[in-house]
Amino acid sequence: MSADAGDPQLAAAGAVPLHIQIRETIRRQVRDGELIDKTGRLMTEAELGRHFGVSRITIRNAISPLVDEGMFARSRGRGTFLRTNQPENWVGRLMGFSETIRDAGYKAGAKVLDQGMTNRHDQNVRNMLQERAVWQLKRVRLADETPIAIEHAFYPPDIGLELEKRDLISIIMYAVIEEELGHPIKEAKQTISACLADANCAKLLGVKSGNALLSIERLTLGKDGRALELLRAIYLPEYFRLSINLTRRHS
């Protein structure tokens, strides 16, 4: 086997089956940014076989559980890719879809479903944005051409009508709002919940009606306290994971 096969953690495993040792080594090395390219594509079975000095069958047996648990996804004709189950730091830096998906090594994209001024919105939108009429943008969001989210965003008219002049497929929304439109963002308030896919959402996302989805509502505020965006979105849960650090308060 190669030098990697001589890893002390592998050697110490002793009686542990070889494919399990290699599986855990792959898991560890990928988390360290090894064995994958900048797009998240894992080395081929043949490359991994040469890397570890083992057969392709052993490599296949090592990788299959990682695919089953959701760490990797296989794409026919393209390879095996690290799944973007942590594309956003939900409790940290505010990032839009395009930024987070690109950071995860995927090509971000969109299909516009609806856009333009409307006064046919619910009372919550009116209350949050403090506008009787708003500019809306509804899109299916893509990661490497795969639909993984539906976003419905609402903006004050002055912001929305400026956004309308941009390319709504590749726009980096928060960067445009801050750098081009001159509205510095202070913070965002986000609520996360679960929901079930209705027939329309299921069709757009390529899932079965009734499948579990992740739902968010995010209100983004400027430094002056003005509401700049209200985003309502649903995501395929396998692409997003919520992680929160909790502390226990002692008296």
Q: What is the pLDDT of residues 41-79, one digit of tens each?
A: 899 999 999 999 999 999 999 998 888 777 788 887 888
Looking at residue 94, its pLDDT comes to 65
% helix, strand, coil for the chain, step of 5 = 30, 30, 40
What is residue 2's predicted lDDT score, i.e. its pLDDT? Answer: 44
Pairing of strands 146-155, 134-143: antiparallel
- Residue pair 176/182 in contact by the 8 Å Cβ criterion: no
* pTM above threshold 0.85: no
* Highest mean pLDDT (candidates 104-108, 120-124, 133-137, 234-238): 133-137
Contact present, 159 and 226 (Cβ < 8 Å): no
